Amino acid sequence: MSIGIDFWLQLIVLLACLFYAAPRGGMTLGLMGGIGLIIFIFGFGLKPGKPPVDVILTIMAVVCAGATMQAAGGLDCLLSIAEKILRRHPRAVCYLAPYICWFLTVLCGTGHVVYTMLPIIYDVAIKNNIRPERPMAASTIAAQMGVICSPAAVAAVSMIALLDGKMVGGQPFGFTQLFAIVIPAAIVGLFAVGTFSVFRGKDLDKDEKFQALIADPEQRKYVYGETTTLIGVKFTGKQWASLWIFLITVAVVAVLGSIPELRPMVGSKRLSMTLVIQMFMLLAGILMVMFCDAKKINKTAVFNAGMVAIVSVYGVAWMSDTMFSNHIAALKDALTGWIKVAPWTFGIVLLIVSKLVNSQAAAVATVVPVAIAIGTPPGVIVAMASAAYGYYILPTYPSDLAAITFDRSGTTHIGKFVINHSFIAPGLIGVLTAVAVGWVLGMIYGYI
């Protein structure tokens, strides 16, 4: 069975929808699925695909827990600890800031925690005459690299839900198999990013453009500004309690994912991790509501970003599933041999789609089901999971734009040709290093 002209016409429609919607944000991306679905179903007569309901419900539960923690003040408690570490070791900011932002993402499940850290990172850098671009660009990259490493993140739980029941390395797939790859891969990748960042760009005292900027007393005052800090803020016991409730719940979920025997039997199988994540995240949320002051949960940045992610995944994944599910047989015939010869090409596809949809979760929900259906070994998918982050290629993601805004020195920038911006080099270095390490680990563990 060969791939016909209809497939290529439908692919053009799919890509056109993604190219139009991606620069306009996640909500537009999700809503754009409506146009694609109508064209595919009413125009081409395709059988409707299935929206990823399990993934969407899992995302919703995780977002509710994270947003409740932010509303209760637990996130600020965590950020204050991170700031103390940075201010004690300012000369190491190019290494410490990325690792701290990555770790915060792993704990909280969202890379958007970087927004609160960026002004602190800037303040530490500029007050120690370190080019702010170095730690700030590295930190925004690091925060997003932490998404696939977090048991509370949308992309990671999507991967768990989609591969639930598959065998990887001779074991049923779970958090252990995923994190045994992506966490050490990210740690090595971030070291490469930090090392690059230490030497990137001109030192401030040798940067003619920066020196000309601060020659104006008003501009100098603006650039150096007042200190931004959470140190000295008094947090209540209930704020700390919300942080501990969230972290303990994440730890329990990770343990249940690592030791399947702890999960109850449902018929002939263990309770799926998809349902475990959903119920425990809801539990964390209600415990914080009951015992902490969690107010205006739906007004938090975590809630808003998470709901946008749900709409994005809903529209994009449903649209792409409708198209690809109608061509699975032909795709399997055409690509099976290719996958056997060059399975690493899955990583390239995942990276490109991530850029197109500006979302790791949407990229995973779009690419992984197709990869499984055409016979890509689950171990290869896991080994290359770090490739889900590719939206640093163009400087359109909110955290990248935030870093540019918070850097009052102007060193974090978008270049004349757009593609030559502050984030592309650390992004490529971090992700490509992580993917390479993940591949090697996959071979060592027997995944590949």
- Residues paired with 270 in a beta bridge: 265
pLDDT of residue 430: 97
User: In a structure prediction context, what are the per-residue pLDDT tens digits for the chain, which is 448 residues long?
Assistant: 556 788 889 988 988 887 787 666 667 878 988 999 999 999 999 999 888 787 778 778 878 888 898 899 888 888 888 888 888 999 999 999 999 999 888 887 777 778 768 888 898 899 889 999 999 999 999 999 999 998 878 788 889 888 887 888 788 887 888 999 999 999 999 999 999 999 999 999 999 999 999 999 898 988 888 766 777 788 999 999 999 998 898 788 778 876 778 889 888 877 877 788 789 989 999 999 999 988 888 888 778 777 877 787 788 778 878 887 787 777 666 656 666 677 888 888 888 888 766 778 878 888 888 888 888 888 999 999 999 998 888 776 767 877 887 888 989 887 777 678 899 999 999 999 999 999 999 999 988 8
Q: Is there a contact between 148 and 390 (Cβ–Cβ < 8 Å)?
A: no
Placement of tokens 């929808």 in the chain: 17
- C-alpha distance from residue 17 to each of 62, 311, 365 (Å): 28, 15, 17
**Tokens of residue 76, six digits:** 């600020």
- C-alpha distance from residue 190 to each of 74, 88, 360, 361, 418 (Å): 26, 21, 18, 21, 24
pLDDT of residue 171: 83
- CA 115 to chain CA centroid, nearest Å: 14
pLDDT of residue 403: 84
Residue span of the structural domain in which 196 resides:
5-445
Other CB atoms closer than 10 Å to residue 145's CB: what's the count? Answer: 32
- C-alpha distance from residue 126 to each of 121, 134, 230, 283, 432 (Å): 9, 11, 17, 42, 29
pLDDT of residue 312: 75
- Residues paired with 167 in a beta bridge: 172
Q: Please tell me the pTM assigned to this model.
A: 0.74
- CA 113 to chain CA centroid, nearest Å: 11
End-to-end CA distance of the chain: 28
Please name which of 241, 314, 259, 307 lies closest in space to residue 78, comparing C-alpha atoms.
Answer: 241
DSSP string of 294-344? Answer: ---GGGSHHHHHHHHHHHHHHHHHHHHHHHHHTTHHHHHHHHHHHHHH-TT
Residue type, 365: A
Strands 269-270 and 167-168: unpaired
Total domains, the chain: 1
pLDDT of residue 114: 81
- C-alpha distance from residue 8 to each of 29, 106, 188, 327, 353 (Å): 21, 39, 39, 11, 17
